[in-house]
Amino acid sequence: MFQEKRALFVYCVSPVHMGAGTALGVIDNPIQRERHTDYPIIIGSGLKGALRHGLGWTDKADIKAVFGPETTESSEQAGAVSFGDAQLVAFPVRSPKRAFVYATSPTALARAARLLNIAGVESKWQIASVLPDQCRFVNPDLLSGDEVALESFVFKAQLDPNLRQISEWLADNALSKEAAYQFFRDKLRDDLVLLSDEDFGYFVRNATVVEPHVRIEDATGTAKGTGLFYTENLPPESLLLAPVMASQERNREGKKRSAEEVMALLVNGKDNAKGIDGCQLQIGGDATTGRGQVILNLAKGGKDA
């Protein structure tokens, strides 16, 4: 069905709240998570909806071809582009050295490599296994003796040249090439830390941004007595990866744009309409408080090399 595939990195530059809709614990408004890993994700349908609105396209034929028609016309045709869920690649964890690190795990890296391979991007990553309470790193500046400290924990550390190859690739491909992101490209290159799946899982469950809010009485403009609630956010500097797939245009009549033409339109835009590569986008809730700002960047490889 899909003839064209790309891999799209999503980099958070503010806290991001993609709501799960159901609260099972003390957090009233949790973020979306995978059931089997408990890793934060961004559901593909939410990403697609945010792009449909955020790109600001005005050509109705282009919107219909890529994203599909309005809901009232949904029986006419489907959009030619599909977005998969954005899966977590790296998660920021506080460090006494260099402010924070980009933490990852064997599972997170293996899933990213698989998705890249599906999209035709060759990664050739060699991913080591890691025991609990240990880590692999690339930057000696993170060391305190022979350990790396993260939050209130210490991990016995081992220098890993294969992890350096992965961090170099991510720095070159995952983040925007604009000058404003040079610091973060360099930091991703130097401060990637590989944790065990168990330790990584602890941080992604317990080191998100949780904020208290109060409901306001319209009449008085003061806090409502029973209105305290807690909202969870994916922290800034989180890095995720989503598959993007395109088929031939699915209209019933007239000329059908090829999958290559549809993908080129989505990636590059047309005339004054911007495309997704390098796009700054607001996704999720709490937009009026500056939440949900992300930068999109297509992994280069295959046809995009």
The tokens describing 216, both together, are 């306001």
Asked whether 184 and 171 are in contact (CB, 8 A), the reply is: no
Strands (E), 145-292: 147-150, 153-159, 192-195, 209-216, 223-233, 239-246, 280-282
Dump pLDDT digits (tens) for 247-263: 999 887 778 889 999 99
- In the predicted model, what is the mean pLDDT of the chain? 90
Dump pLDDT digits (tens) for 103-122: 999 999 999 999 999 999 98
Whether 76 shows a pLDDT value over 70: the answer reads: no
Dump pLDDT digits (tens) for 229-241: 778 889 999 999 9
How big is the chain, counted in residues? 305
pLDDT at 22: 65
Give the integer Cα–Cα distance in Å for 280 and 198: 33
3-state secondary structure of 215: strand
Look at the alpha carbons of 101, 294, 86, 236 in this order and tell me if their dihedral is positive or negative. positive
Q: Which residues pair with 243 in a beta bridge?
A: 7
Whether 222 shows a pLDDT value over 80: the answer reads: no
pLDDT band, residue 305 (cuts 50/70/90): very low
pLDDT at 230: 78
Q: Are strands 41-42 and 134-137 parallel, antiparallel or unpaired?
A: unpaired
Residue 294: which of 233, 251, 223, 247 has the closest Cα? Answer: 233
Dump pLDDT digits (tens) for 120-174: 998 889 999 999 999 999 999 999 999 999 999 999 999 999 999 999 999 999 9
